[in-house]
Amino acid sequence: MIRPPSLAPEGLDDSGAPGPGHVRDTRGARFAKAQWRDDPVRYPPAMAIALLLGTAAAAAGFLVTSFFGFVLAAHGPHDPLVRFLVTRHVLYAIPTLLLSLFSQSMVLFYFIGTGRLVKDEIAGWTEERRRGVVSALRRFKARTSPPATFAMLAAIVAFVLGGWVHTAAPGIRGIARIAHLSTSVGALLLHLWALLAEYPTFVENNRLMADPAAFAGATLPPGA
pLDDT in tens, 141-157: 999 999 999 999 999 99
Q: What are the CA-CA distances from residue 9 to residues 4, 25, 212, 216 (Å)?
A: 15, 12, 41, 46
- Are the C-beta atoms of 114 and 51 separated by less than 8 Å? no
- Are the C-beta atoms of 58 and 190 separated by less than 8 Å? no
List the domain range (segments joined by +) for residue 193. Answer: 44-219
Average pLDDT estimate for 120-127 = 89
The answer as to whether 33 is a domain residue is no
Which of the listed ranges 50-59, 84-93, 126-135 does the model predict with the highest average pLDDT?
A: 50-59
One-letter identity of residue 157: V
Model pTM score: 0.74
pLDDT in tens, 34-60: 444 444 445 568 899 999 999 999 999
The answer as to whether 66 is a domain residue is yes
Distance of CA 171 to the CA centre of its chain: 42
Confidence of residue 219 (pLDDT cuts 50, 70, 90): low
Can you give the pLDDT at residue 37?
Answer: 47
Confidence of residue 168 (pLDDT cuts 50, 70, 90): confident
Beta pairing partners, 18: 12
Q: How far apart are CA 204 and CA 43, in angstroms?
A: 13
**Better-scored residue on pLDDT, 24 or 50:** 50
The answer as to whether 8 is a domain residue is no
**Better-scored residue on pLDDT, 184 or 21:** 184
The answer as to whether 50 is a domain residue is yes
pLDDT exceeds cutoff 90 at 198: yes
The answer as to whether 23 is a domain residue is no
Average predicted confidence (pLDDT) for the chain = 80
Q: How far apart are CA 157 and CA 173, in angstroms?
A: 16
Q: How far apart are CA 129 and CA 126, in angstroms?
A: 5
Q: How far apart are CA 51 and CA 63, in angstroms?
A: 19
Lowest mean pLDDT among 86-90, 159-163, 189-193: 86-90
- Are the C-beta atoms of 89 and 69 separated by less than 8 Å? yes
Lowest mean pLDDT among 2-16, 63-77, 83-97: 2-16
Q: How far apart are CA 36 and CA 34, in angstroms?
A: 5
pLDDT exceeds cutoff 70 at 137: yes
Collect all residues with Cβ–Cβ distance below 8 Å to 163 and sequence separation of at least 6: none
The answer as to whether 203 is a domain residue is yes
In sign, the C-alpha dihedral spanning 51, 52, 56, 57 is negative
Average pLDDT estimate for 162-179 = 87
The answer as to whether 128 is a domain residue is yes
Q: How far apart are CA 155 and CA 62, in angstroms?
A: 9
Q: What total number of domains does the chain contain?
A: 1
- 10 Å CB burial of residue 180 (0-12, 13-18, 19+) is buried
The answer as to whether 22 is a domain residue is no
Rg (C-alpha) for the chain, rounded Å, is 28
Confidence of residue 23 (pLDDT cuts 50, 70, 90): very low
